[in-house]
């Protein structure tokens, strides 16, 4: 009896301890080093291992350094938590162990952000610690300043700058952290997508509704909803779900087109081309389209690129833009990536580095990190 009591006394604390901590192993099985990688761990798997987890009182610890690492509870627009997001560096062919345990979390600096900007004609703007973008809303539609594609706001700081720039209302001049000198006009700008019907790009109107699903600190996701329009005789509606991660030059863009046709719909991703010579890279086989723009005097050089995950029929360059053509089915999402960089941020400073970045990004997509929870 005494032996049984001792066994219970020994086992019970271990059981309780197991309920107050869990281990996450993240493995990089590829030959690529991963830097600033935002990684998602299914929340339901964490709860299976740690059912008593208090979302208001836990920390994520690097098992080697014993330091806290930044995290985010991702909802994807749901009331319940979908994923735990962490940002890590991980060398090729290596793994990292993280511990989830009780504790007061440090306050980490937000690295992503988005908002509706009604004070500037219904802009919707978003950014991370590398780059910023905006899409144009209904208040700008059919005005002199209207534009169809995605705009780029270049940055030379890791700080979030959107609110300060809109408050100054002087964002076409570099005040030490970057500016907006990117021109969109009646093109797809920095990687927007549109139907391509009867050999013509069928631009929609500007977005009509918006919805933020998550807003930092490591990942921001939102939706832009477009009213139906006539695309060369086909009535189409679109919802664009855009995600920007900390540390990334590219957005993840998931478009859902709804139309009354059983045949696949041709669509194109576009990047506006400048009048002066730049450096262009079209890789149909890998679905990568890259552009190193000509330098704009004191404003520097902007790089723009896109990566499609669906098969490419063709890529080409016309007078106005670089284009990549693929197909979508009715009410089935299509996912691609698009974004930009600025040489004055001093991270990517020439065309070769930019094209290498796009190639590396595409390889990361093909070799995702492997996550296990115990």
CATH number of the domain at 41, please.
2.60.40.1180
According to the model, what pLDDT value does residue 21 have? 87
Residues 199 and 247 in one domain: yes
2 inside domain: no
Q: Which of 271, 238, 268, 269 is nearest to 255 (CA)?
A: 238
Range of the structural domain that residue 87 is part of: 14-107
The CATH number given to whatever domain includes residue 225 is 2.70.98
Radius of gyration of the chain (CA): 23
Residues 97 and 119 in one domain: no
- Choose the final residue of a domain: 107, 126, 146: 107
11 prior amide bond cis, ω within 30: no
Rounded Cα gap, residues 123 and 102, in angstroms: 41
DSSP conformation class of 159: S
Domain count, the chain: 2
Per-residue pLDDT for the chain (374 aa), expressed as one digit of tens each? Answer: 444 444 444 444 444 444 588 999 999 999 999 999 999 999 999 999 999 999 999 999 999 999 999 999 999 999 999 999 999 999 999 999 999 999 999 999 999 999 999 999 999 999 999 999 999 999 999 899 899 999 999 999 999 999 999 999 999 999 999 999 999 999 999 999 999 999 999 999 999 999 999 999 999 999 999 999 999 999 999 999 999 999 999 999 999 999 998 899 999 999 999 999 999 999 999 999 999 999 998 999 999 999 999 999 999 999 999 999 999 999 999 999 999 999 999 999 999 999 999 999 999 999 999 999 99
Residues 138 and 88 in one domain: no
DSSP conformation class of 189: B
5 inside domain: no
Instruction: Judge if pTM exceeds 0.85.
Output: yes
* DSSP H helical ranges for the chain: 2-19, 43-49, 162-168, 351-366
Residues 103 and 116 in one domain: no
Residue 338 host element (H or E)? strand 334-342
Residues 67 and 132 in one domain: no
- Choose the final residue of a domain: 62, 90, 107: 107
According to the model, what pLDDT value does residue 9 have? 42
Share of the chain above pLDDT 70, in %: 95
Residues 42 and 171 in one domain: no
Residues 153 and 224 in one domain: yes
3 state SS of 3: helix
According to the model, what pLDDT value does residue 19 have? 58
- Choose the final residue of a domain: 107, 131, 151: 107
According to the model, what pLDDT value does residue 194 have? 98
């Amino acid at each position: 009896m005494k032996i049984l009591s001792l066994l219970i006394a020994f086992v019970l604390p271990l059981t309780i301890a197991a309920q107050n901590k869990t281990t996450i192993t993240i493995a990089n099985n590829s030959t690529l080093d991963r830097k600033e990688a935002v990684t998602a761990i299914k929340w339901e798997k964490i709860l299976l291992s740690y059912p008593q987890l208090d979302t208001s009182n836990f920390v994520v610890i690097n098992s080697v350094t014993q330091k806290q690492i930044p995290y985010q509870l991702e909802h994807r627009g749901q009331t319940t938590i979908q994923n735990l997001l962490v940002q890590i560096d991980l060398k090729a062919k290596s793994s990292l162990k993280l511990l989830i345990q009780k504790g007061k979390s440090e306050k980490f600096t937000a690295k992503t952000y988005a908002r509706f900007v009604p004070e500037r004609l219904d802009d919707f703007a978003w950014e991370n610690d590398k780059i910023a973008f905006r899409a144009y809303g209904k208040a700008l539609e059919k005005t002199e300043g209207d534009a169809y594609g995605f705009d780029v706001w270049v940055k030379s700081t890791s700080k979030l700058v959107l609110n300060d720039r809109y408050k100054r209302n002087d964002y076409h001049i570099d005040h030490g952290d970057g500016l907006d000198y990117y021109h969109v006009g009646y093109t797809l700008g920095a990687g927007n997508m549109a139907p391509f019907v009867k050999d013509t790009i069928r631009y929609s109107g500007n977005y009509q509704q918006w919805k933020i699903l998550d807003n930092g600190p490591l990942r921001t996701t939102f939706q832009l909803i477009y009213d139906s329009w006539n695309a060369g005789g086909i009535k189409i509606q679109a919802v664009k779900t855009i995600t920007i991660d900390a540390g990334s030059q590219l957005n993840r863009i998931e478009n859902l087109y709804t139309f009354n046709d059983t045949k696949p719909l041709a669509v194109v991703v576009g990047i506006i081309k400048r009048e002066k010579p730049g450096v262009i890279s079209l890789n149909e086989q890998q679905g990568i389209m890259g552009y190193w723009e000509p330098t704009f005097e004191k404003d520097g050089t902007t790089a723009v690129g896109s990566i499609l995950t669906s098969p490419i029929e063709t890529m080409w360059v016309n007078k106005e833009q670089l284009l990549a053509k693929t197909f979508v089915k009715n009410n089935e999402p299509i996912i691609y990536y698009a974004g930009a960089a600025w040489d004055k941020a001093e991270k990517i400073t020439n065309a070769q580095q930019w094209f290498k970045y796009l190639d590396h990004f595409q390889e990361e997509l093909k070799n995702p990190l492997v996550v296990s929870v115990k």
